[in-house]
């Protein structure tokens, strides 16, 4: 993929498309390179109340008020790697004459791995909302190689754990009216991998109680290529994606008789998403997706499974209401 990123970087700078002519944009963000956010805890026998957050972000625009903003342009060709890991140590079994895991006990652990290429967020969800009275155009182009992963290996028991892996290429969210907004264009090419893994011996459980309800342990893997959430657009809303997406959650027992209770796995891949409050008469919406999407959840318990939910979803093109 590094070769593709390098070639994409050259294309990014020399493109003759409409994106390459917008050098008079009020905000222009260009980025090429590699980002790595890595958290690793090794050789432990107990991990309690641990939080690991690995975050990479390339081009970000976040403004509560965009009154004088006319045009926003973001381009990125970046390889992103966000990883969190907790690993047990090893011990030598003299009776079996081999090395074996010195299992780690896990309780109250949160792992978040996030990669974002281009993001525009204008306005606020609570007053004052702000204005975007002259905003005319938002364009995003992303060549992505995104890898977000969370690993726990090898646990004896796992209790109250949340693993979240997220990759996003192009995101646009407007919490304000933009009456002059004529066009939004998003373009993305590349790969996204969101992976969560737990290897355990005895059990996985969710025992935390909030408002009288048990909070399950969770694994969430999500990939999003292009996403737009706006009140309205006047003329053009175009999304193009050519991306391989893999969202996978694994809970794998290495014991002979293991149990899983109160556990949820969610795997989601989405290519082109539009949430819009109103569609004007003159608006043309185009969504083009060339994608390979794989959303999967695996539980290998070698024993009892109870109060477990698995959800695997792939979406290529979607247009829906803002609310």
| Stretch (H or E) spanning 149 | strand 137-175
pLDDT-derived band at 96, boundaries 50, 70, 90: confident
Q: Which residues pair with 242 in a beta bridge?
A: 189, 290
Q: What is the mean pLDDT of the chain?
A: 90
Where is pLDDT greater, at 95 or 57? 57
Helix-strand-coil split of the chain, %, nearest 5: 5, 75, 20
| Stretch (H or E) spanning 7 | helix 2-14
Give the burial class of 18: count Cβ atoms within 10 A of its Cβ; 0-12 exposed, 13-18 middle, 19 or more buried: exposed
- What residue spans of 160-259 are helical by DSSP H? none
| Termini Cα distance of the chain | 37
Least confident of 27-41, 129-143, 145-159: 129-143
Rg of the chain in Å (alpha carbons):
22
**Hey, what are 292's tokens?**
């390979």
pTM of the model: 0.90
**Hey, what are 210's tokens?**
């909030």
Residue-wise pLDDT tens digits, 13-30: 444 343 444 556 789 999
Q: Which residues of 189-199 are buried (b: 16+ CB within 10 A; e: fewer)?
A: bbbbbbbbbbb
Q: What is residue 19's predicted lDDT score, i.e. its pLDDT?
A: 45
Rounded to whole angstroms, the Cα distance separating 297 from 312 reads: 7
Q: Which residues pair with 199 in a beta bridge?
A: 252
Bridge pairing between strands 183-205 and 104-123 = unpaired
**Hey, what are 189's tokens?**
């090419």
Rounded to whole angstroms, the Cα distance separating 51 from 60 reads: 24
**Hey, what are 267's tokens?**
């795997």
């Amino acid at each position: 993929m590094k070769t593709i990123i390098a070639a994409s970087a050259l294309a990014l700078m020399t493109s003759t498309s409409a994106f390459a002519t917008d050098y008079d944009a009020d905000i222009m963000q260009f980025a090429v390179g590699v980002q790595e956010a890595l958290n690793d805890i090794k050789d432990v026998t107990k991990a309690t109340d641990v939080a690991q957050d690995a975050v990479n972000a390339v081009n970000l625009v976040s403004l509560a008020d965009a009154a004088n903003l006319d045009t926003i342009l973001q381009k990125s060709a970046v390889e992103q790697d966000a990883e969190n890991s907790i690993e047990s140590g090893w011990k030598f079994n003299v009776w079996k004459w081999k090395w074996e895991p010195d299992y780690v006990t896990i309780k109250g652990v949160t792992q978040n791995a996030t990669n974002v290429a281009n993001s525009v967020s204008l306005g606020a969800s609570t007053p004052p909302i702000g204005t975007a009275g002259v905003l005319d155009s938002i364009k995003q182009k992303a060549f992505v190689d995104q890898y977000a992963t969370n690993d726990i290996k090898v646990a004896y028991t796992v209790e109250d754990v949340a693993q979240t892996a997220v990759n996003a290429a192009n995101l646009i969210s407007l919490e304000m009216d933009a009456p002059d907004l004529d066009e939004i264009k998003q373009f993305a090419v590349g790969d996204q991998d969101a992976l969560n893994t737990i290897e355990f011996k005895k059990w996985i459980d969710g025992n935390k109680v909030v408002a009288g309800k048990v909070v399950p342990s969770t694994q969430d893997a999500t990939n999003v290529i292009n996403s737009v959430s706006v009140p309205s657009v006047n003329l053009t809303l175009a999304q193009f994606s050519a991306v391989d997406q893999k969202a996978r959650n694994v809970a794998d027992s290495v014991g002979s008789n293991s149990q899983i209770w109160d556990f949820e796995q969610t795997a989601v891949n989405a290519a082109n998403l539009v949430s819009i409050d109103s569609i004007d008469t003159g608006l043309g919406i185009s969504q083009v997706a060339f994608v390979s999407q794989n959303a999967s959840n695996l539980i290998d318990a070698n024993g009892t499974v109870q109060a477990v939910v698995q959800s695997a979803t792939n979406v290529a093109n979607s247009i829906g209401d803002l609310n």
